Structures are given as structure tokens and as C-alpha cells.
């Protein structure tokens, strides 16, 4: 990569001055995402584009001079994906935040990448429509970042993740050229599926500047339930039993007693602390469907002899539980010096074995592991919790991360379900995909980004020439 000390000066000439940040304190704010513990390096300049043309001009400039470019949404990622380890230019996309269109008859929305997910969901719900993907950071994360990582969330069990809702993209390629992939039709079978190649590419192939997203009718009814379980193993087995009997909640979350205790601090209607593990569930659909499925789930819970099954009748109380669940990671961040949130996915019928394995890892290493996740789709988040950060605890944390990942793979899972690979998982990707698949990916990267300027060093361990 060419080192250019005059990047900021050139960008001021290329764009309006208010679209470029060059002061050290401004650039420092872009040195990491929410992980923060990766080695940080400030970018040489930050650009806040407002149009696709702005992005194209920056990319043409960077391509001509082989300057690294790192696209960035809200910086809420947990994989180091938007950390500019090579310096260069960070493209902060938050000013491109228009909801261009909500098409009520075609059930498609067209959006810019800087739209905050929660804002978008509220906008479509006003039209009685529904955009299901719901990462826990939805109050701050942007749609562009969601698309770049194929982000998911609790509703993945019934509705799938972000990738299931992307119909088309406008993308600026590394040389500044602009392409439009896919379209606004649910069916599209024309050539290579570049839309979904770019979805999940973590900014390594181009910059997303617009997206067409599929919408659904808003479910008219929903109900929240809580199952209080005697042991984590019972809760994990209950997940598989609910799914195997054909009851598919919109959300099905696994939580340990310790997590419920933290949530209770913020709840007016506290959950009972009588169990060791809990399932927090939401059933949605037509009113009759919600009644039937909640009754079926209650019967399954009774048959499994859980300690208590609670149907939450008050909507505000139900929302308080989901809000507390959403804020569990920030609560942990405030308590511990370092929180490493893992993101593995296993087949749902392997969740009981995974829960047991996580307990064994924690005990054998003498390091606390939190455990929660979107159990309905097998996406579990073992969380390494460090009260102190020193050489010994960092070594144990690294061992825990590797054992967690290897355990997930041994159970037939994946090393990431929704956070992406970024820097955090790059050393492990070959364990899942193998060398041949990685070489295929590298050949695609080389074809689209021959100079290797797009978000370098992410997804796989960097080697000479890439």
C-alpha cells in the first residue's frame, strides 16, 4: 500500500470541506469498532459522503493511488470489521440515511446505507409492514452494516437474517465504477448472484450505497412467554423439543440465571430467580394462531416439567423484557474490563451438548463465560468475561475463544452466525471452509479489487499481494 501523507489535503480539494475529517481527535474516533481491543490505528482521513457520486469520486482517487478504504456504518460491529488496520480512508456512511421509497403494493423498500435499523422498522410499521431482522444493536446499527455482515437477531428463528431480505444493491466498486445488482422482484435468476456475493462481504469488495429490501405484512398479534428451567440442559432440551414439535416462535432466546439477574436490575416486573436457565419467547401471527401456538408451547413446557411457564399479558411488560435482553451486552460492558462476545451457530439439536461444553471450558480454564443467544436458530453467544486485563487473563481468553470455536465446529456448526469474520475470526476461517474455498474467495477478491484496497486484512489472514 502506498503511503500518502497528503490524503486529507487531496480530499479537501476533491469534496466539500464539511465532508472530510482530518484532525487527530476526529480520526481517533474511527480507529476501532465496538470490540476496541484490537490494535488501533487511526485512518489518515475520514470522509462522510452524502451521495453515490461522492463515494465514486473517493474510490477513483483511492484506486489511482492504492490507498486503503474502509467502509463504516455505526461502528457497532463485534468482529473488528471496520477497523482501519492499514490507515488510509474511512468512509463513514451515516449521512446517506434516506429511506428513498416504501412501496406498499410491491412490499419493497429502497434505502441508503446509513439508515438506522430501528428508524427503518418504525417507518415501515407505520405502514402496517414488517422488516424482521433485529440485531441487538438495532437502535444504532445501520442497514449498510447489517447487509455487509448478514446481521441477524432473535427473530432469525422464524424469519431468517438480513441476507434473506436483500433483493438488490447499488455498489461502488474499488475503481469507482457503479453497478446495480438484482432488482425489486422476489424472483431473479439472471447470471451470477452478485447481490448475495456482496451481501456479507464485509466491505472487502465494494461500498454499498443503496439497497432494495423485501418487506412482509406486519403480524397483527404477538405474545411473550417465559419458561423457567431447573438446569441449562433442560432449557437447551426444551428448545429442541419446541422446534421438533412444529411450534416456531418468532423469537426464542436462551438465558442463564446470571443474565436474568442483570436484567432484573432494570425491570419493574422482575423475573423469578428460581431457575438456572430461562427461555424468553415471542409468538406472532394472526390472533388465533398466536393463541394456538402459545398453548402448544405451554403444553410442551408442562410435559418437560419446567419450574414455571409465564404468559406475559401486558404488552408494556413484555416489551420491557425484550428491551432488557437487548441491553444485556452493554450491561456486561459496564461491569467487566473486557467482554468478548462469541458468535457460533450449531444445529439446534446440538444445543444441549454445546451448553455442557461451555460449562466445561469455563471450569477447566478458570474463566467466567456468560451464555445467551438466539437458541431458536442455534446461534449462541458464549461471552468471555474479564474482570481484569493482563497477560494471564488474555492468554486464557484466547484459549477460551479457540475452544469455543472448535467445539462449535465439532458439533457441525459455523464460526459465525451474524457478527461476521472481520479480524476476530480470520485466523479460524480455514478450520471451517478449508484452503480451497478460501482460495476461491481470494480469486474473487483479486478480480474485483485487484489492488487490494477494500477493507484490507479482513475475513482471512492477510498474505502478500492481498
* Domain map (residue ranges) of the chain: 7-94, 96-217, 221-328, 336-410
| Helix, strand, or coil (residue 105) | coil
C-alpha cell recorded at residue 111: 434505502
Give the closest residue to 42 by CA, choosing from 19, 70, 2, 64. 70
> Is 221-328's fold the same as 336-410's?
yes
CB of 310 within 8 A of CB of 229?
no
C-alpha cell recorded at residue 21: 475529517
The span from the first CA to the last CA of the chain, in angstroms, equals 10
Give 314-339 pLDDT, tens digit per residue.
Answer: 999 999 999 999 999 889 989 999 99
pTM summary value: 0.94
The helix or strand, by DSSP H or E, that contains position 347, with its residue range, turns out to be none
Top CATH class of 96-217 equals alpha beta
Is residue 39 pLDDT above 70, yes or no? Answer: no
CATH code reported for the domain at 7-94: 3.30.43.10
CATH code reported for the domain at 221-328: 3.30.70.2190
pLDDT score, position 466: 43
Other residues' Cβ atoms within 10 Å of the Cβ of residue 360? 11
Pairing of strands 69-72, 89-92: parallel
pLDDT score, position 36: 80
pLDDT score, position 40: 76
Is residue 1 pLDDT above 90, yes or no? Answer: no
Matching CATH number, 336-410, of 3.90.1150.10, 3.40.50.10540, 3.30.70.2740, 3.30.460.80: 3.30.70.2740
Question: Could you tell me the pLDDT band of residue 64, with boundaries at 50, 70 and 90?
Answer: very high
Amino acid at each position: 500500500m502506498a503511503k500518502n501523507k497528503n490524503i486529507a489535503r487531496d480530499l479537501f480539494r476533491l469534496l466539500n470541506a464539511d465532508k472530510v475529517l482530518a484532525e487527530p481527535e476526529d480520526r481517533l474516533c474511527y480507529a476501532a469498532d465496538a470490540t476496541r481491543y484490537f490494535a488501533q490505528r487511526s485512518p489518515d482521513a475520514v470522509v462522510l459522503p452524502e451521495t453515490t457520486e461522492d463515494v465514486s469520486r473517493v474510490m477513483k482517487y483511492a484506486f489511482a493511488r492504492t490507498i486503503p478504504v474502509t467502509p463504516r456504518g455505526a461502528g457497532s460491529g463485534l468482529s473488528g470489521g471496520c477497523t482501519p488496520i492499514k490507515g488510509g480512508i474511512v468512509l463513514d456512511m451515516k449521512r446517506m440515511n434516506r429511506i428513498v421509497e416504501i412501496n406498499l403494493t410491491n412490499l419493497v423498500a429502497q434505502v441508503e446505507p446509513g439508515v438506522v435499523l430501528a428508524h427503518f422498522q418504525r417507518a415501515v410499521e407505520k405502514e402496517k409492514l414488517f422488516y424482521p431482522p433485529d440485531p441487538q444493536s438495532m437502535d444504532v446499527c445501520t442497514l449498510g452494516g447489517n447487509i455487509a455482515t448478514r446481521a441477524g437477531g432473535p427473530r432469525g428463528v422464524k424469519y431468517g437474517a438480513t441476507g434473506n431480505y436483500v433483493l438488490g444493491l447499488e455498489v461502488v466498486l474499488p475503481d469507482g465504477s457503479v453497478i446495480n445488482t438484482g432488482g425489486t422482484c422476489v424472483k431473479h435468476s439472471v447470471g451470477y448472484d452478485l447481490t448475495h456475493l456482496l451481501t456479507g462481504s464485509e466491505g472487502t469488495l465494494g461500498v454499498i450505497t443503496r439497497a432494495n429490501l423485501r418487506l412482509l405484512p406486519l403480524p397483527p398479534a404477538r405474545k411473550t412467554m417465559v419458561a423457567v428451567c431447573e438446569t441449562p440442559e433442560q432449557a437447551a432440551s426444551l428448545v429442541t423439543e419446541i422446534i421438533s414439535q412444529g411450534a416456531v416462535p418468532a423469537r426464542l432466546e436462551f438465558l442463564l440465571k446470571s443474565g436474568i439477574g442483570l436484567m432484573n436490575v432494570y425491570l419493574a416486573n422482575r423475573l423469578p430467580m428460581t431457575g438456572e436457565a430461562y427461555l424468553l419467547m415471542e409468538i406472532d401471527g394472526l390472533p388465533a394462531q398466536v393463541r394456538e401456538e402459545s398453548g402448544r408451547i405451554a403444553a410442551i413446557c408442562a410435559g418437560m416439567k419446567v419450574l414455571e411457564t409465564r404468559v406475559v399479558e401486558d404488552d408494556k411488560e413484555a416489551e420491557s423484557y425484550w428491551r432488557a435482553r437487548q441491553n444485556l451486552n452493554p450491561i456486561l460492558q459496564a461491569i467487566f474490563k473486557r467482554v468478548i462476545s462469541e458468535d457460533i451457530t450449531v444445529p439446534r439439536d446440538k444445543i444441549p451438548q454445546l451448553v455442557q461444553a461451555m460449562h466445561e471450558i469455563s471450569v477447566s480454564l478458570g474463566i467466567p463465560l456468560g451464555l445467551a443467544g438466539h437458541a431458536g436458530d442455534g446461534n449462541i453467544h458464549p461471552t468471555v468475561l474479564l474482570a481484569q486485563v493482563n497477560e494471564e487473563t488474555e492468554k486464557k481468553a484466547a484459549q477460551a475463544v479457540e475452544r469455543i470455536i472448535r467445539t462449535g465446529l465439532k458439533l457441525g456448526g459455523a464460526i459465525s452466525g451474524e457478527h461476521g469474520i472481520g479480524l476476530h475470526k480470520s485466523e479460524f476461517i480455514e478450520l471451517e471452509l478449508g484452503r480451497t474455498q478460501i482460495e476461491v474467495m481470494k480469486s474473487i477478491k483479486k478480480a474485483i479489487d485487484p489492488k487490494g484496497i477494500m477493507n484490507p486484512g479482513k475475513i482471512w489472514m492477510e498474505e502478500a499481494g492481498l
